[in-house]
Amino acid sequence: MELARRERLTVRQLIGRLGGGRGHLTFAGTPEQVADTIGLWFASGAADGFNIMPAVLPSGLEAFVDHVVPILRARGLLRTEYGGARRTLRERYGLPRPANQHVIAPALV
């Protein structure tokens, strides 16, 4: 709050300042511009994933899903389905499921 008051920042400027200050690229634009930026970073190897942090929830996330995701899918940058029998990240990497620490094994009872 002190930074925002001292520098008379809007909420958008404050979010941009704080996000960028922690090493995150922050940007805004039309759906096409956002898809262009994501595509450029991905194609250049600068990123292998993205955290979407809309300024307003849930409407900002809904706008991204409704307007940017279809562009990314049309460009082949975002899959349309997650196929295969493996459902969890652990299964995808072939890692065993750890024993539940909160249940006593029947053999020990």
pLDDT score at 21: 54
Q: What is the largest CA-CA distance in the chain?
A: 66
Model pTM score: 0.62
Model confidence over 24-81: pLDDT tens digits?
Answer: 677 888 999 999 999 999 999 988 788 888 878 899 999 999 999 999 999 999 988 8
- Does residue 87 carry a pLDDT above 60? yes
